Structure 1
Amino acid sequence: MYLLDTNHCSRIIFGESNVIRRLQEHIGLGVATSVIVQGELIYMVQKSSQQEANLRFVRTFLQTIDLYPISGGVADVYGSLKGEIVENFGPKDKAKRRKFTVQDLGFSDNDLWIASTALHYNLTIVSGDSDFQRIQQVQALALESWL
């Protein structure tokens, strides 16, 4: 089962043929995305100059794909994963950690939520985002890119 990240969803929505071809090759194995990605796509629409048309494209796409929610199990994985990231990449001095965030390391909270969803449900993330490669240094995360 595959969990599409925002960069792959947006390319599918806007017709990038290579990514669409790969999607068609994997569709029988199960392809989904996360409600976090849904939020990122809607945010992209809000920033666009063609909001009405782009919102239609996004809504149509989201109706054709399964969406994984943020459950209590996903939240537990998120908390553990975030702690491991800080432990492995963050400052060793406890005083410095108090004001420290994962964003200081270049990780986005949204990517941690997406990774936590994949880990909880044992999914392969499909993304071109390097955050997920760095997450693999602390968790065994299945990752592919169709770009």
Structure 2
Amino acid sequence: MTGSNIILDTNIVIELFKGNPDIIKQLGDLPLVKVPSIVLGELLLGAYRSSNPNKHLSQINGFLKKCELIGTNANTADAYALVKTDLLNKGKPIPENDIWIAAIAKQYNLTLVTSDAHFRQIEGLVIENW
């Protein structure tokens, strides 16, 4: 898997921050990794709520230097609406932020690297768990 085809979920970035050797190995020497802006928001929330915000904010800012941040636009909103409609029709809701993350991955045809099993509920979403 090349870095240009993947997008990271929050739980994978957190494992990277914890020094998980499997995640470090998978990311290898990739010059750049894609991260949804929603993931950045979740990381920042965790930092601000932590007992040591400055440490975590520094860690996040260092990580961002190696990231391509992927934001949302009208096409993302459409992908979000389609994903959420399908989940509601199945009676299988997942967290709202994760729907946005999935929408970005689908919009750009990226593989979402995550350890959250509920992403399997989303049709057409390609996922990997490192």
Would you say same fold, with TM above 0.5? yes
Residues 1:109 and 2:100 are matched in the alignment: no
* Map 1:31-110 → 2, pairs under 5 A: 31-89=33-91, 105=93, 107-110=94-97
Partner SS, residue 32 of structure 1 = strand
Among 15, 20, 34, the alignment partner of 1:11 is 15
Mapped partners of 2:104, 2:52: distance in 1: 31
Partner SS, residue 125 of structure 2 = coil
* TM value normalised by structure 1: 0.80
* Alignment: residue pair count: 126
**1:145 alignment counterpart:** 129
Structure 1 moving runs of 4+ over 3 Å: none
8 Å contact from structure 1 (residues 111, 131) kept in 2: no
Mapped partners of 1:32, 1:38: distance in 2: 11
Instruction: State the 1:131 CA deviation.
Output: 1.7
Instruction: State the 1:71 CA deviation.
Output: 1.1
Q: Which has the larger radius of gyration?
A: 1
Please, what is the CA RMSD of the aligned residues? 1.5
Partner SS, residue 28 of structure 2 = helix
8 Å contact from structure 2 (residues 33, 66) kept in 1: no
Q: What amino acid sits opposite 2:18 in the alignment?
A: F
Instruction: State the 1:11 CA deviation.
Output: 1.4
Instruction: State the 1:14 CA deviation.
Output: 2.9
Q: What amino acid sits opposite 2:26 in the alignment?
A: R
**1:93 alignment counterpart:** none
**2:117 alignment counterpart:** 130
* TM value normalised by structure 2: 0.90
Structure 1: stretches of 5+ with no match in the other structure: 91-104
Mapped partners of 1:131, 1:73: distance in 2: 23
